[in-house]
Amino acid sequence: MQSSVKIFSGTVSNYLALAIAKAAGKKLSEVSIQKFSDGEFQPVFKESVRGDHVFLVQSTCAPTDNLMELLMMIDAARRASAGYITAVIPYYGFARQDRKDRPRVSIASKLIANLLTEAGADRVMTMDLHAPQIQGFFDIPVDHLDSSAIFIPYIENLKLENFIFAAPDVGSTNRVREVASYFGAEMVICDKYRKKANEVGSMTVIGDVKGKNVILIDDICDTAGTLCKAASILMEKGALSVRAFCTHPVLSGKAYENVENSVLEKLVVCDTMPLKQQSDKIEVLTTAQLFAVAIKNTFENKSITSLFSHKPKLV
């Protein structure tokens, strides 16, 4: 008996799962999240998954209920005899805790990897991990998709002249260099010093941006403090304009206020997690087609290498 593809969604990523299923030519399968008065919940699949290749779409953004929901769906699918279980995690939460950068702290991203594997996931599909080496925390296959496949065509359509790329911090250097090399463009680095988490103490621009249209690229926009400060300094250094491209719109705290009051011309993000509010300065690009192709190729045992390149054909 041949297995079939079944795509299910957790609560927070339902909007994206619907788009992925549509792009894949599938109907989103139904799962019910039953809630109890004390806050406990229970995912229940409304159809058989026996022998099927099950794709569970859920970003593990705050609150942690979203992670627990995903773990319980994986466990339910395993206990219902699913043939193969892929956790599709557009935004992999806790990825910033990828090492012991000070004494007596958790390496939470490794813990999450262990939990997903122990719950019964056979494969993980995600996008733009904050630290690419997190792939090594897993003993199961990890498909690590690249948002540059979405951002590059958008940047090309802008038809900007005299543009240059900028890394908002040293940690983003490799990510930005790869995109800059595709365009044959130069790049600069904004070197920052943090007083504490989510608070930038000082920042220095390494490179010349005078008379340039600057494109900032990062994986996560949390409070938007780093991006907005970088944009301000770049304009002070003579930039003509500053646009920012960030994969995951965490946008917590005063992020929306910071973006609205910044010199940023536009903040372009992906739909890996839902926006909390709308803003004229924030534009959302969909990842649905990229994930749909990855899901299709995974099920058909085809290579997805083309999706890691900067300009894949999404067909």
* Catalytic residue positions, numbered: 192
Place of tokens 């003509």: 240
136: Cβ contacts below 8 Å, ≥ 6 apart: none
Q: What is the dihedral of CA 146, 148, 150, 153, to 10 degrees?
A: -150
Helix residue ranges, H only, 159-223: 173-183
**Residue 190 to residue 204: CA distance in whole angstroms:** 6
DSSP 143: E
- Give which of 125, 122, 121, 96 is closest to 109, Cα–Cα: 96
Residue 304 C-alpha from the chain's centroid: 18
Distances (CA, A) of 268 to 40, 125, 151, 293, 299: 36, 22, 8, 22, 31
Element (H, E) at 216: strand 213-221
**Residue 240 to residue 234: CA distance in whole angstroms:** 9
Q: Is 254 exposed, middle or buried (0-12, 13-18, 19+ CB in 10 A)?
A: middle
Whether 164 and 187 have beta carbons less than 8 Å apart is answered as yes
